[in-house]
Amino acid sequence: MKHDVVIVGGSAGGIQAAICTQKHHGTEDILVIRQEQKVVVPCGIPYIYGTLGAVDKNIIPDKMLGNAKVKVGEVTAINRGGKTVTLANGEEIGYRKLVLATGSNPVCPPIPGVDKKNVYLVKKDPDYLQQLSTAMDQAKHILIVGGGFIGVEFADECRKRGHQVTMVELLERCLQLVCSTDLCVRAEDVLRKSGVNVITGTSVKSISGNSQVESVELSDGRSIKCDMVILGIGVAPNTKLAQEAGLQIGPSRGIKVDEFQRTTDPDILAVGDCAEKYSFFNGEPVPVRLASVATREGKIAAANLYSARWRNVGTIGVFSTVVGDTAIAMAGLSDIQAAKMGFDIVVGEAEAASKHPGTMPDAKPMKVRLTFDRRSGRLLGGCACCTMTAGEVSNLIAAGIVNGMTIEQVALFPMGTHPWLTASPLAYQLTDAASNALHKVVHTP
């Protein structure tokens, strides 16, 4: 059977491609092929084990797909000449246009003992995640390898369950690859105060035990007792299907795509973690794997199925997380990243109560830090903490970046304020941070 559009992969990028194909083109002959009966919310996986309490509370409903049909199965081959895909059961399905949204696979490091019982990866598979949940009910001390977003969130959620938690990060700081140093330090402090044993600048040398994990040996000689290990050190693009079909792979190991999400085959597009990403700032490949990026690419691919309409101007990393009651968010380049790209940076900071006056109930300090290019004045990046609105502030920063806003434009941003909802107009963090950066530029000889 032949379909107008076949989408391989049913998570964020594939779902968005199906939704927007219907919106843009009125196409109803869409088939989504996925391996799982149910699709988990990828960013919500750590919260299954603490806040949510069940895998079934972290499922994307199929009704979001609209009129698109779903087939559960594994696509094992693409015949580009015949424009068909083959499933593991031998069934062949034809397509007019094919969208690859095959996602990514968790990285499994070559650590001795990684194959022992109670060592888990972070997979987007509901059945596997349920197995992890069942095993966690019997665990007392959980060791988490990796101090990125997944590791930090798992540490915080496992702590909420009452487990003893140790988090081991190879780099000097947790969240170091995406956050500024002050935010990394703040996240670590919150974790430690809540009882999490945070170990940085150290790697896991081996996992010890008979058939089941009993301890982990670190590169600095320490041995940490534990009865469960969760590996959260990142993901790699799932490009096996594309490679075997002869599609070109990029330097960051994603499927090579152009600015319209088209692969080297004009009838095949790729979105999400499996697709190569290119920096908004310099066009170089970047290893950013986020559901928010995947959905954006799904929209672009859907618009460009039959002709080039929407252009991907490049990827901007926009990250956020919550540790305890402390929210941390960042968009664009950190100071270190900007300096590596050759920008002469100027930074502005501002901190004020999240409501006004500061005596309003639940008012908390919120800090915003913005980084600009001194020569052009353009916004390069920024971060916010520590209230729950930090995530939306980082989205505002991202909007300013992609639209080329300058220091003056951000400083004069037309904000609206309200005592319950925002800081005072006299101390609005976003505009004040830009104003403080502007004063540095104006007063620099």
Are 147 and 212 in a shared domain?
A: yes
Sorting pLDDT into bands at 50, 70 and 90, what band is 178? confident
CA distances from 259 to 11, 102, 134 (A): 22, 19, 44
Residues 128 and 195 in one domain: yes
| pLDDT value of residue 303 | 97
Other CB atoms closer than 10 Å to residue 147's CB: what's the count?
28
* pLDDT tens profile 217-255: 999 999 999 999 999 999 999 999 999 999 999 999 999
Smallest CA-to-CA distance from 87 within 72, 68, 105 is with 72
Domain boundary among 191, 212, 233: 233
- Residue 385 structural domain: 325-442
Specify if 180 maps to a domain: yes
In a domain, 316, yes or no: no
Cα–Cα distance list, 66 to 22, 23, 32, 340 (Å): 8, 10, 11, 45
91 with 194, same domain?
no
Amino acid code (one letter) for 4: D
Cα(272)–Cα(254) distance, integer angstroms: 9
Question: How many whole angstroms separate alpha carbon 430 and alpha carbon 410?
Answer: 7
Which residue, 131, 130, 121, is CA-closest to 154?
A: 121
Count structural domains, the chain.
3
Mean pLDDT (whole number) for 343-369: 95
End-to-end, the C-alpha distance of the chain in Å comes to 70
**What pLDDT shows up at residue 126?**
96
CATH number at residue 197: 3.50.50.60
Residue range 377-410, pLDDT digits in tens: 999 999 999 889 999 999 999 999 999 999 999 9
pLDDT at 67 over 70: yes
Q: Say if 289 falls within a structural domain.
A: yes
- Confidence label for 84 from pLDDT (cuts 50, 70 and 90): very high
Q: Pick from 233, 248, 264: which residue ends a domain?
A: 233
Number of neighbouring beta carbons within 10 Å of residue 358: 14
> Is the confidence at residue 191, as pLDDT, over 90?
yes
Structure tokens at 12: 């964020």
Q: 308 in a domain, yes or no?
A: no
Residues 123 and 218 placed together within one structural domain of the fold: yes
Please give the C-alpha separations between residue 155 and each of 113, 169, 198, 300, 321, in angstroms, as whole numbers: 21, 12, 9, 35, 12
Task: Say which amino acid occupies 136.
Answer: M
Same structural domain, 117 and 219: yes
Which of 85, 88, 132 is closest to 106 using CA atoms?
132
DSSP 201: S
The CATH code of the domain that includes 407 is: 3.30.390.30
**What is the distance between the alpha carbons of residues 192 and 202, in angstroms, rounded to a whole number?**
17
Q: What angle do CA 155, 160, 163 make, to 5 degrees?
A: 70
One domain for residues 118 and 193: yes
Same domain for 15 and 44, yes or no, is: yes
pLDDT of residue 283: 95
Residue 444 is predicted with a pLDDT of: 57
Q: Is 209 a member of any domain?
A: yes
CB of 49 closer than 8 Å to CB of 157: yes
Q: Helix (H, G, I), strand (E, B), or coil: what is residue 124?
A: coil
Stretch 346-357: mean pLDDT, rounded? 96
**Could you read off the pLDDT of 4-48 as tens digits, one per residue?**
999 999 999 999 999 999 999 999 899 999 999 999 999 999 999
For the entire predicted model, the pTM comes to 0.94
Which three-class secondary structure state does DSSP give residue 441?
A: helix
Residue 30: is it exposed, middle or buried by C-beta count within 10 angstroms (0-12/13-18/19+)? buried
